[in-house]
């Protein structure tokens, strides 16, 4: 049985993770961590997630009673937990977004000591979309302009979403572009014509949207759209549990959801790597 620590256990994703662990074989929640002074501290993790008691109380400290931590919290909390897991030699599945370059570098550095998966989106469907976007971008090359539109609930604090950035990186990598220089994150006023090779991002926020992403490949006379719509957050939690089961017992290293899902194949069967023009 793989013992899981759920960080951010009272949060939207934390509760989903606790419920997803209950649905899965071979895993059990053995620790539940929340921020100091959270009103749910001391309560049972199962009850907080809306289910039966698990005999695991929410605590402000991770302790050592777990094999792997699943962390969907805030960047500061994730980096704090990263230090704990590195010290204890425990693996992590990190779903927190908005870590920034320094945070991501810290995660990569920790992968020298512990097995890690950092994924802006842990759903199977989005990870398939990442592979499809890479394939489409490699095949279309300069034939199409790439634009990414994402929509999320009103509580989301970072923009564009980590998933939109991951989709943008997938396209950029295949096009030989770089989001740092080619990403366009705002347009307002006299913008001038669209720069060749730029990858544009548009953000929508409102209501209870669980997350929608569309990558548009806009050419002259045709348009391809690759869309993923999440209608239930359980897809992220189920994917994260799948990742934890795959990660358990692996040597230290930075792994990806594509490793977990076996999507590190060339979806285009080889042809996609050749640009059409």
Catalytic residue status for 152: yes
Query: Which residue among 81, 152, 213, 245 is the active-site one?
Result: 152
Q: What are phi and psi of 181, to 5 degrees?
A: -110, -30
Q: Is 35 in the site for ligand NAD (CB under 6 A)?
A: yes
Least spacing, CB of residue 221 vs ligand NAD, in Å = 36
Nearer to ligand NAD, 236 or 246 (CB): 236
Q: x/- string (CB under 6 A) for ligand NAD, residues 178-207? A: ------------------------------
73 binds ligand NAD (CB under 6 A): yes
97 touches ligand NAD by CB under 6 A? yes
Closest contact distance (angstroms) between CB of 137 and ligand NAD is 22
Chain position whose Cβ is nearest to ligand NAD: 11
Q: Taking the complex as a whole, how short is the minimal distance between the CB of residue 119 and ligand NAD, in angstroms? A: 5
Site string for ligand NAD, 116-145 (x = CB under 6 A): ---xxxx-----------------------
DSSP string, the chain: -EEEEEETTTSHHHHHHHHHHHHSSSEEEEEEE--TT-TTTTSBHHHHTTS---S-BEESS--S--SEEEE-S-HHHHHHHHHHHHHHT-EEEE-----HHHHHHHHHHHTTTSEEEE-S---HHHHHHHHHHHHHHHHHGGGSEEEEEEEE-TT--SSS-HHHHHHHHHHHHHHT--HHHHEE----S---SPPTT-EEEEEEE-TT---EEEEEEE-SS-EEEEEEE-S-THHHHHHHHHHHHHHTTPPSEEE-HHHHHT--S-TTTTGGGS---
- How far is it, in rounded angstroms, from Cα 111 to Cα 33? 22
Would you state the structure tokens that stand for residue 14, as one six-digit string?
A: 């934390």
Number of residues in contact with ligand NAD under rule CB under 6 A: 25
Cβ distance to ligand NAD smaller for residue 74 or 214: 74
Minimum distance between the CB of residue 267 and ligand NAD, rounded to whole angstroms? Answer: 21
Closest to ligand NAD by CB, 139 or 149: 149
Query: CB of 149: closest distance to ligand NAD in angstroms?
Result: 17
User: Residue numbers of the site for ligand NAD (CB under 6 A)?
Assistant: 7-8, 10-14, 33-35, 38, 72-74, 77, 80, 95-98, 119-122, 236
Which residue numbers are catalytic?
152, 156
């Amino acid at each position: 049985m793989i013992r899981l620590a759920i960080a951010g256990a009272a949060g939207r994703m934390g509760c989903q993770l606790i419920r997803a662990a209950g649905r899965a074989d071979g895993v059990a929640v053995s620790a539940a961590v929340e921020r100091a002074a959270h009103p749910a501290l001391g309560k049972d993790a199962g009850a907080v997630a809306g289910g039966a008691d698990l005999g695991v109380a929410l605590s402000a400290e991770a302790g050592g009673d777990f094999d792997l931590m699943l962390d969907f919290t805030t960047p500061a909390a994730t980096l704090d937990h990263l230090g704990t897991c590195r010290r204890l030699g425990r693996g992590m599945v990190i779903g927190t977004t908005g870590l920034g370059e320094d945070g991501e570098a810290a995660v990569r550095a920790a992968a020298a000591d512990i097995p890690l998966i950092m994924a802006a989106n842990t759903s199977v469907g989005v990870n398939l979309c990442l592979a499809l976007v890479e394939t489409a971008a490699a095949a279309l090359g300069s034939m199409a302009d790439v634009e990414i539109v994402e929509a999320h609930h009103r509580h989301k604090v970072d923009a564009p979403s980590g998933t939109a950035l991951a989709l943008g990186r997938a396209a950029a990598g295949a096009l030989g572009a770089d989001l740092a220089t080619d990403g366009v994150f705002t347009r307002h006023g006299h913008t001038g014509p669209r720069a060749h090779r730029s990858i544009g991002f548009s953000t929508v926020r409102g209501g209870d949207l669980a997350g929608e992403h569309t990558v548009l490949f806009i050419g002259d006379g045709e348009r391809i759209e690759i869309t993923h719509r999440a209608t239930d957050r359980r897809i992220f939690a189920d994917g994260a549990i799948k990742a934890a089961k795959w990660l358990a017992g692996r040597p230290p290293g930075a792994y990806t959801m594509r490793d977990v899902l076996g999507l590190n194949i060339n979806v285009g069967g080889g042809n996609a790597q050749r640009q059409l023009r």
